[in-house]
């Protein structure tokens, strides 16, 4: 309808003077802010959600399953009692991933591995999926990445083994969800990383919760 919007046609348009702009001058929209806030809430919910456990696990472990946030809190209290050095198992009957942690790459905090973040239930570490066959992935400030197999020797792992088939499928779905947003035929890249609500721990939790949706009684996510 003529005159229903402004822009290059010069029609009488909506007042957008109060809307924030991107660095390139394009408008951002309220929907973008809502989407970002929703993503932050979902990431936090995944972080606090109970992690999947083996159907054969003791009743108490199944009833009071830890969340990724609980694991981080445990690590922050210098409790590494359940961590073991990473070792490959290339001949595993069912390929799997484990939760792996290692010191951060930054020279400023690399030596703080094993110590808590002051005033926080957080731990100076990088969290990563490490596979029985050497495959691996996680999130860093530049987006998702994989480590050189040699670097996997720097990882310590938690005990649970997660079925690789489901984790790989979940990774593809999460990476798709985090892909560019198209607004008025313009693609806007999402920020791949945010220290507060989109870090390596949030990413690990999101992938794990997504993978949980695929399991069946015959093929559980957590291997015995």
Cα(147)–Cα(60) distance, integer angstroms: 35
Instruction: Say if residue 20 is exposed, middle or buried (CB neighbours under 10 Å; 0-12, 13-18, 19+).
Output: exposed
pLDDT over 70 at 18, yes or no: no
Question: Which pLDDT belongs to residue 220?
Answer: 97
Predicted pLDDT of residue 193: 75
Report the alpha-carbon angle 110-174-49, nearest 5.
75
The pLDDT tens digits of the residues spanning 79-111 come to 677 799 999 999 999 999 999 999 988 888 778
Three-state DSSP state, 46: helix
- pLDDT classification of 14: cutoffs 50, 70, 90: very low
State pTM to two decimals: 0.80
- When computed from its CA atoms, the radius of gyration of the chain, rounded to whole angstroms, is 21
Q: What are the residue boundaries of the structural domains of the chain, listed by start? A: 30-212
Q: What is the pLDDT of residues 46-72, one digit of tens each?
A: 999 999 999 999 999 999 999 999 998
Residues found in the chain: 224
Question: pLDDT confidence of 222, banded at 50, 70, 90?
Answer: very high
Backbone phi and psi for residue 19, each to the nearest 5 degrees, phi listed first: -80, 140
């Amino acid at each position: 309808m003529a005159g229903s919007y402004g822009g290059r046609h010069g029609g009488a348009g909506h007042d957008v003077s109060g809307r924030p702009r991107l660095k390139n001058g394009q408008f951002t929209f309220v929907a973008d802010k809502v989407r970002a806030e929703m993503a932050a809430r979902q990431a936090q919910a995944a972080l606090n959600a109970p992690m999947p456990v083996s159907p054969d696990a003791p009743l108490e472990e199944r009833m009071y399953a830890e969340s990724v946030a609980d694991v981080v809190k445990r690590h922050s209290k210098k409790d590494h009692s359940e961590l073991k050095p990473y070792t490959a198992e290339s001949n595993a009957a069912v390929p799997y991933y484990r939760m792996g942690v290692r010191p951060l790459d930054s020279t400023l905090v690399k030596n703080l591995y094993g110590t808590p973040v002051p005033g926080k239930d957080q731990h100076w570490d990088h969290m990563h999926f490490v596979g029985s066959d050497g495959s691996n992935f996680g999130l860093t400030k530049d987006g998702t990445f994989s480590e050189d197999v040699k670097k996997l020797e720097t990882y310590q792992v938690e005990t649970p083994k997660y079925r690789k088939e489901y984790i790989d499928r979940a990774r593809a779905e999460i990476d798709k969800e985090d892909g560019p947003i198209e607004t008025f035929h313009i693609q806007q890249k999402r920020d791949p990383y945010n220290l507060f609500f989109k870090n390596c721990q949030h990413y690990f939790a999101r992938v794990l919760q997504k993978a949980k949706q695929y399991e069946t009684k015959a093929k559980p996510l957590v291997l015995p």
